[in-house]
Amino acid sequence: MIKPHYFLFMFFITLFTSCANVDQIDRGHLAKKIMQLDPHPEESAFRNEVRSFRESAIGGTSAVGGGCGCN
């Protein structure tokens, strides 16, 4: 049987390994446009607009709402 303090130990190991200090010189590299989730937001907006006209359907490209059916 796994002891309860093992879970606490694993929680703290996960917590401390997920944090990282970034040097000042490296922050410029990490802030580049290619490192963003969507490096080309204008192009994505244009593609979504073209897709909505072509398929006569708008939306469905991002998750909104809380799951209750109300947007």
Q: pLDDT at position 57, please?
A: 66
Q: Is 8 among the domain residues?
A: no
Contact 39, 33 (CB under 8 A): yes
Contact 71, 65 (CB under 8 A): yes
Q: Is 26 among the domain residues?
A: yes
Instruction: Examine the pLDDT at 3 and tell me if it is beyond 80.
Output: no
Q: Is the pTM of this model over 0.75?
A: no
Q: Is 67 among the domain residues?
A: no
Q: Tens digits of per-residue pLDDT, 5-61?
A: 888 888 888 877 766 788 888 888 878 877 777 778 888 888 888 877 777 666 666
Range of the domain at 40: 21-56
Q: How far apart are CA 58 and CA 71, in angstroms?
A: 14
Q: How far apart are CA 12 and CA 20, in angstroms?
A: 15
